[in-house]
Amino acid sequence: MEWTLWAGLAAGLLIAVVTAPVGVSGAVFLLPVHLSVFGVPSPAITPTNLLFNVVAGPGALWRYRRDGALRGDLARRLVAGTLPGVIVGAAIRVFALPGPGVFRLLIAALLLPLGLWLGVRTLAPAHDRQAAAGQAAAGQAAAGSEPSPGALTALAIGVGVVGGIYGIGGGSLLGPVLAARGLPMTRVAPAALAATFATSIVGAAAYALLSLVSSGDVAPDWGLGLACGLGGLIGGYLGARLQPHLPETALRLLLAALATTLGALYALQALT
């Protein structure tokens, strides 16, 4: 048992350092670790991941707030939409999607196209500028593609449902979508992490209540979730501190690579 806790702490730290700069808590990348390495049963794996988000979230958020990156209403709009969605997602996960095979296939179906989409959108403007468009015009087009308040709310509700099902808080979905719509990563990352943190608190509480009225492994693995979360708390702070020193294109490509890689891995697992 002791090696599991230390391994969980190390996994949470390493993953959060890489994912925090692009607005992803890292819980989505802990899913295969929890499932394949630590053997966390389904659906208990989902609240365990949400517990990781609750413990790990303040590290990166504190750093982003200190740097002034949480100003504006983007985070508030995302949180207002994801909170009701995660409750619905938790109920769906417990009563309708208990099997790990379906779980993996759905993750692949969502993250693989999102990652590819973001990668193409990130690389295409650079090609266009070389051809003739010019960097200034590309920047104005990207700024004008920000979703409307209504679209943001609808997106947040949908992501909240998905986050409640997968136990990922939603940042790994919000990040690629908002970045692909042209929002700068300096805005996307803090807002996505804020939504992930708030959503995970509500989602973890929802699973705790559902565990009282359902059979099976619904409650989180408290020891492992807390150990991973402590690692994520440290790693998230370090990753958020690193973000201002990374170029925008590199951050977008990193987010695209993370989403595409995870989607491909789950597709292979679901089909074998």
Output the six-digit token pair for 250: 């590199």
Q: Residues 49, 52, 58, 59: is their CA dihedral positive or negative?
A: negative
Q: Among 204, 173, 168, which residue's Cα sits nearest to residue 87?
A: 204
115 half-sphere exposure, CB direction, 13 A CA radius: 19
The pLDDT of 56-64, averaged and rounded, is 92
**Taking a C-beta distance cutoff of 8 angstroms, is the pair 31, 168 a contact?**
yes
Look at residue 139 and tell me whether its pLDDT is greater than 50: no
Helical residues (DSSP H) of the chain, grouped into ranges: 2-19, 27-32, 45-66, 74-95, 100-131, 135-143, 149-166, 171-180, 185-210, 222-242, 248-271
pLDDT-derived band at 135 (thresholds 50, 70, 90) equals: very low
Q: Determine phi and psi for 69, rounding to 5 degrees.
A: -80, -10
Residue 240's SS3 state is: helix
More confident of the two residues 166 and 38: 38
Q: What is the pLDDT of residue 29?
A: 79
Angle at 44 between CA 38 and CA 50, to 5 degrees: 90
- Collapsing DSSP to helix, strand or coil, 138 comes out as helix
Give pLDDT tens digits for 63-110.
Answer: 998 888 887 789 888 998 888 888 888 788 777 765 556 667 777 887
- Identify which of 41-45, 135-139, 148-152 has the greatest average pLDDT: 148-152
**Alpha carbon of residue 69 to chain centroid:** 18
Measured between alpha carbons, how far is residue 93 from residues 100, 137, 212, 217 in Å? Answer: 11, 44, 15, 12
**Kindly report the CA angle at 20 between 250 and 81, in degrees rounded to 5?**
110
Asked if residue 43 has a cis previous peptide bond (ω within 30° of 0), the answer is yes
132 pLDDT exceeds 60?
A: no
- Average pLDDT, whole number, for the chain? 81
Q: pLDDT exceeding 90 applies to what percent of the chain?
A: 20
Of the given ranges (39-43, 70-74, 104-108, 127-131), which has the lowest mean pLDDT? 127-131
What residue spans define the domains of the chain? 2-271
Q: Of the segments 114-118, 166-170, 171-175, 231-235, which one has the largest average pLDDT value? A: 231-235
Q: Alpha-carbon Rg of the chain, whole angstroms?
A: 18
Euclidean distance between CA atoms 16 and 220, whole angstroms = 20
Q: Is the pLDDT confidence value at 136 over 50?
A: no
Highest-scoring range by mean pLDDT, 24-38, 77-91, 126-140, 227-241: 227-241
In this predicted model, what pLDDT tens digit does every residue of 152-197 receive, in sequence order? 989 999 888 877 776 666 777 788 888 877 788 888 999 999 998 9
